[in-house]
Amino acid sequence: MKKYLIVFMILLGLILTLGFSQEEFKENVLTLNDKPVGFGESTTGGAGGKIVTVDNISDFKKYAQAQEPYIILVKGVIDTSKEEGQVKIGSNKTIIGITPDASIIGWGLYLKEVNNVIIRNLTIKNKVENPKNDAITVEASQNVWIDHCTLSSDMVVVPEREKDKDKVDALLDIIKGSKGITVSWNIFENSWKCTQVGSSDSSTIDAEARVTYHHNIFRNTNSRNPSVRFGVVHIYNNYYQNILLYAIASRMGAKVLVENNYFDTVALPITTQFESPQDGYVKESGNLYWDCGDNNITQELKELKVPYNYELDEADVLSYLLEKGAGAGKEVEIK
C-alpha cells in the first residue's frame, strides 16, 4: 500500500508540474497584445501605428527615430558597429524580433527623454569597446517595457579580467529619474557591470525611478544585478547564477523589495552598503540561496507596497522555468 501511495504522489506531482509549466510557457509565444506587469504596466509602445519589417540599419533607424508610432518587426542581424554611437529610439515604438536570429550587434540602443517604448525578443550585444556603450540606456524616460531579450557582451567574468571592466559599459542603465519601467523575462550574461537604476551618488532625480525586474536570468556577471540608488525598485522571481561580487545593491536611500528570487553561487546576494556614502533599504522574503555568501542588510524596510497586481512563483521552480522561458528567440504571432 505504501509503495502505491508513493507512486501516486510522484504522478500527482508530475501532473501538477506539467500543468504549471504549460500555463507559464505561454510566455514562449509572444503576441502584439501582450501586456507588461509592474511599474511599466501602462506601456503600449507603437500600438495603433503602422507595422513595418526591417532587416538593415538604415530602415531600422528610419522607423525607430520617426515621429509617428510604429510597430517595427526585426528580421535577422542589424549591424550597428559602424554607427557613431548608440542608436536613438523615439517615443511610441514597439520593436520586436520575429526571427530566431533577430539581433542588434555593435552599438546598443539609446532611449533619451522618450515615452512609451517596447523592446522585445531581441539579442543585443554591445560589442563596440567603448565605456559609453550600454546594450540599452534608458535616460529621463517613462513607460518602457524590455521583455524577452538576451543582453550580453563578450567578457568572460573572472577576477583577472577586472582590468578590462571599463572597455564596455553595462547591459542596461536606467537613469535620470526614469519611471514606469518593467524589465521582464530577459537574460543578462557575460558582462562585468550588468544593470543599474540611478547614475551616481549625486543624481537625486533618480528618487523618481520606479522599476520592476521580474523573471530574468542574471548569470556570469560581476555586479549590478541591479545596483539601485535613490529610487523604488521591485525585484521578484529572478534567477541569479555565478555572480562574482554581488547581485543586488540598494544605495543612497533606495527602497528595494526583493521577493522569491533564486540565488545560485552568488558571493553576496543582497547588500545595502556598497561604495556610497549612504546605505539603502531592503525588504526581502521568500528567496532561495544555494552556495551563496551571507546578505549584508543594514537597513530593513518594514513594508513596501507596489501599486499593481502580480503573482509570485515559488523560488525553487525558477531555474527550470526561466531556462525554458527567458530570453530572445521566441515565436511571435502577428495578428
Q: Are 148 and 120 in contact (CB under 8 A)?
A: yes
DSSP count for the chain of H helices, then E strands = 3, 29
The CA distance from 250 to 183, in Å, is 17
The CA distance from 257 to 306, in Å, is 9
Q: At 235, which helix (H) or strand (E)?
A: strand 232-236
Q: Each residue of 280-312: pLDDT tens digit?
A: 999 999 999 999 999 999 999 999 999 999 999
Peptide bond into 226 cis (omega under 30): yes
pTM (two decimals) = 0.90
Model confidence at 128, pLDDT cuts 50, 70, 90, reads: low
The strand pairing partners of 104, in sequence order, are 78, 124
Model confidence at 159, pLDDT cuts 50, 70, 90, reads: low
Average pLDDT over residues 80-84: 91
Judge whether 224 counts as a catalytic residue.
yes
Q: Are 100 and 329 in contact (CB under 8 A)?
A: yes
Q: Are 260 and 314 in contact (CB under 8 A)?
A: yes
The CA distance from 83 to 229, in Å, is 31
Q: Is pLDDT of 29 > 50?
A: yes
Catalytic residue among 120, 219, 224, 229: 224
Q: Are 114 and 89 in contact (CB under 8 A)?
A: yes
Model confidence at 192, pLDDT cuts 50, 70, 90, reads: confident
Range of the domain at 212: 2-333
Phi and psi at residue 328, to the nearest 5°? -85, 180
Nearest to 108 by CA among 157, 24, 168: 168
Q: Is pLDDT of 11 > 60?
A: no
Q: What share of the chain is helix, strand, coil (3-state, %, to 5)?
A: 15, 40, 45
What string of H, E and C letters represents the secondary structure of 104-137?
EECCCEEEECCEEEEEECCEEECCCCCCCCCCEE
Q: Are 72 and 47 in contact (CB under 8 A)?
A: no
The strand pairing partners of 199, in sequence order, are none
Exposed, middle or buried: residue 28 (CB in 10 Å: 0-12, 13-18, 19+)?
A: middle
Kindly report the CATH number assigned to the domain that includes residue 253: 2.160.20.10
Model confidence at 166, pLDDT cuts 50, 70, 90, reads: low
- DSSP state, residue 184: E
Average pLDDT over residues 312-324: 97
The strand pairing partners of 331, in sequence order, are 29
DSSP string, 261-289: -EEEEES-SEES-SSSSSB-EEEEES-EE
How confident is the model at residue 228, as a pLDDT? 98
Q: Is pLDDT of 86 > 70?
A: yes
Q: Is pLDDT of 187 > 50?
A: yes
For the chain, the domain total comes to 1
C-alpha cell at 158: 573572472
